[in-house]
Amino acid sequence: MKTKAAPVAKSTFNVEEIRAQFPILKELVHGKPLVYFDNGATSQKPRRVIKAESTYYATINANVHRGVHTLSTKATEAQEAAREAIRKHINAKHAHEAIFTSGTTAGINLAATSLGQLLLKPGDVVVISGMEHHSNIVPWQLACERHGAVLKVIPITESGEWDGQLADELICQLANCKILAISHVSNTLGTINPVKKLIALAKKKGITTVVDGAQAIAHLDVDVQDLGCDLYAFSGHKAYGPTGTGVLYGREELLSRMPPWQGGGEMIDTVTLEKSTWAKLPFKFEAGTPHIAGIIGLGEAISWMEDYDKSAMAAHEHVLLEHATKELLAIDGLRIIGTAKEKVGVISFVIDGVHHYDLGTLLDQQGIAVRTGHHCTQPLMDRFGVSGTTRASFACFNTIAEVDAMVAGVKKAVKMLR
């Protein structure tokens, strides 16, 4: 990934210094120190983010873009500063290309509804991959149903990657493929997908590209211009920000052509009872009062991440992944689902004769939080012939000692269950 010019020196990455900024890491669970390995579901929040939200409520709470009064101006400025921080972080051309949403799910629903209306006709094709989260499947199924279009799926290999050749063929051979919607990083497998390459191919064919970046934003240097995608959705809460926040990035030219998704206050220019005209970007897509406090918190989370060298964070998470992979594989009957070469710190596994629910419960007893089940990727579970997995997903505040605690916890649980 391209590195961006850093105007200020980055803080050096020191995991203990990082940990000290996350109040929740001092919590005990069942009397044991919390080991939080469910960052794929939602990451924990540094104190700065928590404080930014409460300071907003305590000092400048007011509705945005409405009042002439001082607080409203301040709240608006703070919200728009967050938008600019996000623009910079993902290297969008314009701040108004970043639409605030309640999360990835909302972003993809907006994309699928609006793009469906703009682009899809009976017989058209939407391509997704076989590793998508339900959030990047169901909205497209609904759009296809509404417009008589067809959903096609890129098959997944045994290692948990796209079948590159079949992906290329799908894109090149389908005359009426209109939309390609793919995840940047798989939440279940950890696979970092070669999205840039496929997007370039799709572009040549005039296909509109949508990327689900939910699992990428906290771990990779996301540069939307470099990726060349048309739309890119992510959630704030998976990137050290508050829940209920998210962003849908869209290229200005495309966003201007897309019809609005939800109607209401803030998104209009003029309203008569016969017809309304739309506000300019990004407000056309931001009906109603946004999650102002959350957005300000998200801006803080982004600038918190910007304070560090993202590659140092990624390198730390990679060390955790490698260590966990090696240690877990030494457990008898354990199999890792998702063995791609390029992975973020996500490790999904199954153990012969051990149900993931039992394992998750017994790990929880030891203060270790992992995710168990199908991870909202049921088609992918079917692909691998499992009903679910146990998943550990790392963040920058996790440590080798925590990985060791999990491995010991798994061994203890397996002993109890066999």
Partner 1 sequence: MTTTMTLAQAQQDLVDEFAMFTDWQDRYEHLIELGKDLPLIAPENKVDTNLVRGCQSRVWLNAEMKNDLVHFTADSDAMITKGIVALLVRVYNDRAPQEILGASTDFIDRIGLREHLSPNRANGLSAMLDQMKRYALAYSSKS
Ligand X SMILES: Cc1ncc(COP(=O)(O)O)c(C=O)c1O
Residues whose CB is less than 8 angstroms from the CB of residue 385 and which lie 6 or more positions away in sequence, other chains included: none
Choosing from 246, 260, 388, 409, the residue that interacts with partner 1 (CB under 8 A) is 388
The least distance separating ligand X from the CB of residue 305, rounded to whole angstroms, comes to: 17
Query: By C-beta, is 268 or 369 nearer to partner 1?
Result: 369
Q: Cis peptide leading into 282, omega within 30 of 0?
A: yes
One-letter amino acid for residue 148 of the chain:
G
Q: Determine the size of the site formed for partner 1 (CB under 8 A).
A: 17
Check binding of 136 to ligand X (CB under 6 A).
yes
Asked if residue 333 binds partner 1 (CB under 8 A), the reply is no
Name the nearest CA neighbour of 209 among 172, 180, 183. Answer: 180
Which amino acid, 226?
Answer: D
Cα 338 to Cα 404: distance, rounded to the nearest angstrom: 21
Burial of 51 (0-12, 13-18, 19+ CB in 10 A): middle
CB atoms < 10 A from the CB of 401, how many?
10
Query: Applying CB under 6 A, which part among 120-128, 161-169, 207-215, 297-305 lies near ligand X?
Result: 207-215
Q: Quick check: 372 binds partner 1 (CB under 8 A)?
A: yes
Q: Is residue 26 a contact residue for partner 1 (CB under 8 A)?
A: no
Query: What sign results for the dihedral spanned by CA atoms 83, 86, 92, 93?
Result: positive
Residues 268 and 255: their CA atoms lie apart, in Å, by: 15
Q: Which of partner 1, ligand X, none has residue 388 at its interface (CB below 5 to 8 Å by kind)?
A: partner 1
Half-sphere exposure of 224 (CA within 13 A, CB side): 30
Residue whose CB is less far from ligand X, 178 or 219: 219
**Site stretch for ligand X (CB under 6 A), options 9-17, 97-105, 152-160, 301-309:** 97-105
Residue whose CB is less far from ligand X, 214 or 359 = 214
**d(C-alpha 5, C-alpha 15), whole Å:** 24
Q: Which does 65 bind (CB under 5 to 8 A by kind): ligand X, partner 1, none?
A: none
Asked if residue 212 binds ligand X (CB under 6 A), the reply is yes
CB of 274 to ligand X, least distance (A): 36
Q: Catalytic pick from 172, 177, 229, 376?
A: 376
> What does R_g of the chain's alpha carbons equal in angstroms?
22
CB neighbourhood size of 279 (10 A): 18
Question: Distance (Å, rounded) from C-alpha 59 to C-alpha 65?
Answer: 17
Do the beta carbons of residue 121 and residue 180 sit within 8 Å?
no
Q: How far apart are CA 218 and CA 221, in angstroms?
A: 8
Give the residue among 102, 56, 59, 50 at the shortest CA–CA distance from 81: 56
Residue 134 or 196: the one with the smaller Cβ distance to partner 1 is 134
Q: Are strands 28-29 and 246-250 parallel, antiparallel or unpaired?
A: unpaired
Which of 187, 193, 208, 209 lies at the binding interface for ligand X (CB under 6 A)?
187
Among positions 113, 135, 348, 398, the unique one binding ligand X when judged by CB under 6 A: 135
Of 114, 209, 235, 393, the residue at the interface with ligand X (CB under 6 A) is 235
Does residue 99 interact with ligand X by CB under 6 A?
no
Any catalytic annotation for residue 376?
yes
The reply on whether position 194 binds partner 1 by CB under 8 A is no
DSSP 4: P
Name which of ligand X, partner 1, none residue 183 binds, using a CB cut-off of 5 to 8 Å depending on partner kind: ligand X
In eight-state DSSP terms, residue 145 is H
- Tell me if 361 contacts partner 1 by CB under 8 A: yes
Q: Which window, 102-110, 164-172, 219-227, 316-324, contacts ligand X (CB under 6 A)?
A: 102-110
| Distance separating alpha carbons of residues 376 and 133, to the nearest angstrom | 6
Tell me, by CB under 6 A, how many residues bind ligand X. Answer: 13
365 lies in the site for partner 1, by CB under 8 A: yes
Task: List the single partner that 103 binds among partner 1, ligand X, none, CB under 5 to 8 Å by kind.
Answer: ligand X
- Select 75 or 363, whichever has its Cβ closest to partner 1: 363
Active site residues: 376
Binding site for ligand X (CB under 6 A): 103-105, 133, 135-136, 183, 187, 212, 214-215, 235, 376
Summarize as ranges the residues that interact with partner 1 (CB under 8 A): 30, 355-358, 360-362, 364-365, 372-373, 387-388, 412, 416-417
